Structure 1
Amino acid sequence: MVYPGAVHSRFEHSLGVYWLAAQAVYILHNRHRMELDIDNFDMTTVKLAGLLHDVGHGPFSHLFENEFLPRVLDGSKWCHEQMSVRLIDHMVDEHNIDMDSGIIKRVKEMILASSSYALPKSASEKLFLYDIVANGRNGVDVDKFDYIVRDSRACGLGCNFEPNRLMEQMRVLDDEICYPAKDYLTVYKLFSARADLYRTAYTHRKVKAVELMIADALILANSYLEISSCVHEPSEYWKLDDSIIKTIEIAPDQELKEAKNLIQRIRRRDLYQFCNEYAVPRDKLEHFKNVTSKDIICSQNSSGVTLKEDDVVVSNVKIDLTRGRLNPLENIKFFQDHRSSNKFPIPDERISHLLPACYQDMIVRIYSKKPDLVPAVSDAFENFQLKTYGIKAQVHGTPEKKRPRF
């Protein structure tokens, strides 16, 4: 399974973020010893936030949160950051951990800092510490530093982003972490490397096919195993991990037969068949609505094959630089040199005309659950594009090898 920060394991990623968070806070402490007054309390909270920031992830991490839960929670909002802070409280209470309540409070604030559930910060100073692990201000944080380098290496991809260079050069100005103006393109490489990973690894079409099948298997097993009922109670939630797939696969229960068949198809590499994809035209991005299976089957022609919604899977894949259609570098502050005490933003047109004018791709990808339906699904997909845009937005037809031979 491939997902951000976990081409290896969640434990390795969390440990990597812990060490990078410790390195970052020590660098700032040594560089601004008197000015910032970073103490042991600050160092402890930043390191613990790095170690525990992802403890709330469920089985298969983002797949569980983005593909499974929205289909079983009936509109209820849920995020792994919130579960992380609830699990921290559970662990402290369950194991009678003797820890300063102020440390626990600050750690939870730091974990939620970049989410939509961010808490009011208890500190009125040293706010830059909240940007080290989960940066809600501009997205430059050690969480990305770790998984971008780690996953690029694990996938055999090149990575020209250098996190150590950024950390060694960063400064705090007016309670905000800033970077040398000469490193503007180094900061940009952080976001472009992340986008490359999403395109080539995390949302690779075969990866998404497996993810969609696992999500379907979990949904088929949900009523019997009551998987979704665990997500509201930390005392039950911590028991969920990737082994849920093995539980389904070896269970003798007839109620799990359909889910088990899907897992066995994955083992045999009998995956949902990729039919085609297209990139949403740039001028349509602002008002784009996710394409559904119903949209596709409503576009089928009278070819003799009647498609049902359950025959088609649509994956709407968004790849951006962390801020949707906006440039994330607009929120980052820079300084001229280490003698300067002024911070300022840098418009990208002042740096290079080779940087993108658009910061988001939306890719609509279609799969057929049955190999023999690939031609019909592909034709319906083409009809949908003609009906929606007046043109076929995809750049190539369905490969002939995907079409069955009779």
Structure 2
Amino acid sequence: MAQDFDKLEEEKVFKDPVHRYIHVRDRLIWELIGTKEFQRLRRIRQLGTTYLTFHGAEHSRFSHSLGVYEITRRIIEVFEGKPHWDNSERLLALAAALLHDVGHGPFSHSFEKVFNTDHEAFSRKIILGDTEVNQVLRKVSEDFPEKVADIIGKTSDNKLIISMISSQIDADRMDYLLRDAYFTGVSYGHFDLERIWRVMRPKEDQVVIKQSGMHAVEDYIMSRYQMYWQVYFHPVTRSAEVILRKILHRAKSLYQTGYTFKYAPGPLSPLFTEDLDLAAYLRLDESVILYYFQMWQEETDEILSDLCQRFMNRRLFKYVEFTPSNYQAYADLREAFKEAGLDPDYYLVVDSSSDLPYDFYRPGEEGERLPIHLQMPDGSLKELSRESDVVEAISGKKRTDHKLYYPADFINDFSSQRDAKERILQLLK
């Protein structure tokens, strides 16, 4: 029999630097926050290696997830009583908002690139598997975990709730932009959150924005654009990510070729054998990863030891701009690195970043994104870039940036290999 998930006897609040207070009135949400799978998010940073660039960026996926829940809760307050909003779906929206990132691994996207893991797939496994999260969700109904997983996986028929949590203007993006701006100390990511959620309106299959709120949405889109290029794609952060990925690649390669570690990788072993079940995945967090990086500084393998020392002590790679068409120079550099005794697979890395700040609807295109619609005074809908000159100027324009990372300190130390040093420096120009 389903447990009566109404209100707590007394409202719980979390003091939050972005939203001032996060309010929890539903027993379901309070119990989900208390699960060990959700508490694990305290040990995973929201911004991966960004703390090595912006020292304040120590905030966690836990605080972000609470923030997404809180924005969703406030949007629902605006929606209540309006056409197209079914208040019986309220708990579904709140649970999906809270759990949308529950499957993230340590250092999130860098981790995924190396081991081909998918945080959304693990979110689904956590929600549907033998977990405390699943036990709590099943108190609502037996099929409630599946409903939550379908919202997060964007396979649900309820497109309205999906768009509240995952679209071009959603609770997830609004929280991370404001939260990341706050903790990095930059001024780019600020916009009028309260104005936006007050002009949001439910439609059949998506959230729309009252036309009177267009300028607040313009501000939000430009904030997102600035944050991606000034914070998320910062070249120093990307240098740290490059080294992080190369450490994990090196450790995996050594493990698979029978290298005897001084400090055996223990809980990391399932990553290297590609035998990563849910229980093994949930044992991983950033404190575990950093423990091994700290200990592997003493390994006899010079590459692993050096890369770990670089990461732990912030001796990062330098970079130059790179043009992808200039492959001959890159091939020549690889050869020069080999001749100088540097393995280019670990010490010469091209890293690319790209972002599309806003896109309009392009039917049939892979990864198509539902555009933001403005609700006009007569009730009709118009796509944002048709009304906003600011948004039109950046619509559909994908910006890509390529950089070549290398250990400048090693090259500068080539005192006994003057010819190799000069050749490499010439090629890097």
Q: Give the TM-score of the pair, scaled to structure 2.
A: 0.69
Q: Structure 1 residues 356 and 36 mapped into 2: Cα distance closer, same or farther (>3 Å)?
A: closer
Instruction: Give me the whole-angstrom Cα distance separating, in 1, the residues matched to 2:390 and 2:214.
Output: 10
AA at the equivalent of 1:61: S
Q: Does 1:18 align with 2:69?
A: yes
CA distance in 2, matches of 1:89, 1:301: 47
What is the aligned counterpart of 1:56 among 103, 106, 116? 103
Identity level (%)? 20
Q: Which residue does 1:265 correspond to in 2?
A: 310
Distance 2:222 2:275 in 1: 33
Q: C-alpha distance in 1, partners of 2:275/2:175?
A: 27
The CA distance in 1 between the partners of 2:334 and 2:296, in whole Å, is 41
Equivalence for 2:79 = 28
Q: Output aligned runs, 1:114-263, within 5 Å.
A: 119=155, 121=156, 123=157, 127-135=159-167, 139-158=168-187, 159-222=189-252, 224=255, 225=265, 226=269, 227-229=271-273, 232-243=276-287, 244-250=289-295, 254=299, 258-263=303-308
Q: What are structure 1's unaligned runs of at least 5 residues?
A: 71-77, 114-118, 281-289, 383-406
Name the Cα RMSD after superposition: 3.6
Question: What's the counterpart of residue 277 of structure 1?
Answer: 321
Partner of 2:344: 309
Matches within 5 A, 1:325-404: 331-337=371-377, 340-348=378-386, 351-352=389-390, 355-356=393-394, 359-373=397-411, 376-377=423-424, 379-381=426-428
Question: How far does residue 8 in structure 1 lie from its aligned partner after superposition?
Answer: 0.9
C-alpha distance in 2, partners of 1:238/1:29?
37
**Counterparts of 1:47 and 1:131, CA distance in 2:** 13
Taking the aligned partners of 2:235 and 2:284, their CA distance within structure 1 comes to: 27
1:38 is aligned to: 86
Deviations 1:196-222 (A, max 9, x none): 222112221111111111111122222
1:112 corresponds to 2:150: no
1:102 corresponds, among 135, 143, 152, to: 143
Residues 113-170 of structure 1, C-alpha deviation per residue, up to 9 Å, x if partnerless?
2xxxxx2x2x4xx5312211123xxx21100010000111111111342222111111
Q: Note closer, same or farther for the CA distance 1:168–1:271 as it changes in structure 2 (3 Å cut).
A: same
For 2:202, what is the secondary structure of its paired residue? strand
**More deviation in 186-195 or 305-314?**
305-314
The answer on 1:69 being equivalent to 2:109 is no
Moved over 6 A (4+): 301-305
Q: Secondary structure at the match of 1:36?
A: coil
CA contact (8 A) 1:230 1:236 kept: no
- State the partner residue of 1:393: none
Match of 2:120 among 68, 73, 81: 81
CA deviation after TM superposition for structure 1 residue 232, in Å? 4.0
